[in-house]
Structures are given as C-alpha cells and as structure tokens.
Amino acid sequence: MATPQKRFRVPEEVAQLVRGLHPDIKKKVRAALDRLAQDIEAGKALQGDLKGLGSLRVARFRVISRASARRVIEIVAIGPRDRVYEETLRLVSAGRRR
C-alpha cells in the first residue's frame, strides 16, 4: 500500500532563491526535497530557539523545514550554512511577533 503523498509549502522568496541556483545545486535541492517527502526526519532536528525545525544538508546549503500534522512540509529557508541559521531565527522570531 502506498504512503500518502506529502505536500510542500514554499514561501515565494525561497522558491525564487531556488530558481536562481546553479543547475547542479538545484538538482541536489530537489533530491533533498524528495528525500524529505519520503522521510521528514531526514537530516537533523534543530535545538534551542529553532526547536521544531529540521535541517538537511545539501552540499554547502541547508534546507530548513517544519512538518505539520496535515502532511504538509513547510520549507522555512534554504541557504548557505554560514548564514541560514541566523536568517531562519530572524524569520521565526518575526513570525512569533505577529
């Protein structure tokens, strides 16, 4: 029996970033998304202020995601390791203030 298909929710700014990536990196990001669709626990669980999010390594990039109870995987951010965690914290903090 097939498992139910998971859907992704990707903010427009993240989708735009992916469109602008080098084709080789874009292919790796898509493979990572396929992996997340199969196993939401792929990668590592983040801690501290980013608890509840997961990080999946894609070359020098990280895909930061969050799963919801309705089989929707939200892609919070994608970016180079040296900046993506700070950017994600900024995005998550801004979302909490709303």
CATH code, 68: 3.30.2310.20
The whole-number pLDDT of residue 45 equals 93
Tell me, yes or no, whether 2 lies in a domain: no
Containing domain of residue 41, as a range? 7-97
Q: Are strands 7-9 and 72-80 parallel, antiparallel or unpaired?
A: parallel
Tell me, yes or no, whether 1 lies in a domain: no
pLDDT exceeding 90 applies to what percent of the chain? 40
Q: How far apart are CA 81 and CA 7, in angstroms?
A: 25
Tell me, yes or no, whether 79 lies in a domain: yes
Q: How far apart are CA 31 and CA 42, in angstroms?
A: 12
Structure confidence at residue 44 as a pLDDT band (50, 70, 90): very high
Q: How far apart are CA 61 and CA 44, in angstroms?
A: 14
Q: How far apart are CA 67 and CA 6, in angstroms?
A: 10
Tell me, yes or no, whether 88 lies in a domain: yes
Q: How many domains does the chain have?
A: 1
Tell me, yes or no, whether 11 lies in a domain: yes
The whole-number pLDDT of residue 4 equals 53
Mean pLDDT of 82-90: 90
Strands (E), the chain: 7-9, 44-45, 54-58, 61-67, 72-80
pLDDT at 1 over 70: no
